[in-house]
Homo-oligomer: A and B are copies of this chain.
C-alpha cells in the first residue's frame, strides 16, 4: 500500500480516475443514443441473453424495486420486453425487442470504440499488459458480466 515517493500516481488513484473516465464515456455515449447510462447498461447486459428480474438485480447490483423501475422505463421506450416464464408463472424473462437489439448493438459498438480510444497512448504490448492485469483484477473480484467481450456477443 504505502505512499509512493517517485512522483508517479498510485494504483488506487489510478483506478478511481480511470473509472471516472469510463463513466464519462459511458454517459456521453448513452446521451447521444437518447438513453440513460443505466438503460445502456441494461441493454448491454441483455445482449448476451434474457434475464429474470432477480438476476438483473444481482448483475447490476440493484435492489429489486430499482430493477422494476428501470425495466419499466426501458420497456416504455420499446427497447425491452417482459415475457412470461412458462416454467414459473410468477417469474418474468426480460429480453431485447428487435429495436432494442439494434440500438444495443450500435450503442455497444460506439461505446467500445470510444473506450478503446482511452489507452491510445499505450503501444500494443502495453495494452496487452494492461488488459491482462485488469482482467485478473476483475476476475478475482467476480465482477458480473456487465459488459461483454468482443467475442461474447449473442
Binding site for B on A (CB under 8 A): 1-5, 8-24, 26, 61, 112-113, 115-116, 118-122, 126-141, 143, 146-151
Contact = CB atoms under 8 A, between A and B. Distances in A.
Nearest to A114: B12
A22 B16 contact: yes
For the residues of A in contact with B, the DSSP-based class is: helix
Contact of A116 (B12, B18, B61, B112): B12
A143 B120 CA distance: 15
Given A17-B143, A121-B136, A130 B130 contact: yes
Nearest to A147: B16
Contact of A10 (B18, B141, B143, B149): B149
A120 B140 CA distance: 8
9 contacts: A5-B151, A11-B116, A14-B131, A15-B18, A17-B134, A18-B19, A18-B138, A20-B143, A21-B141
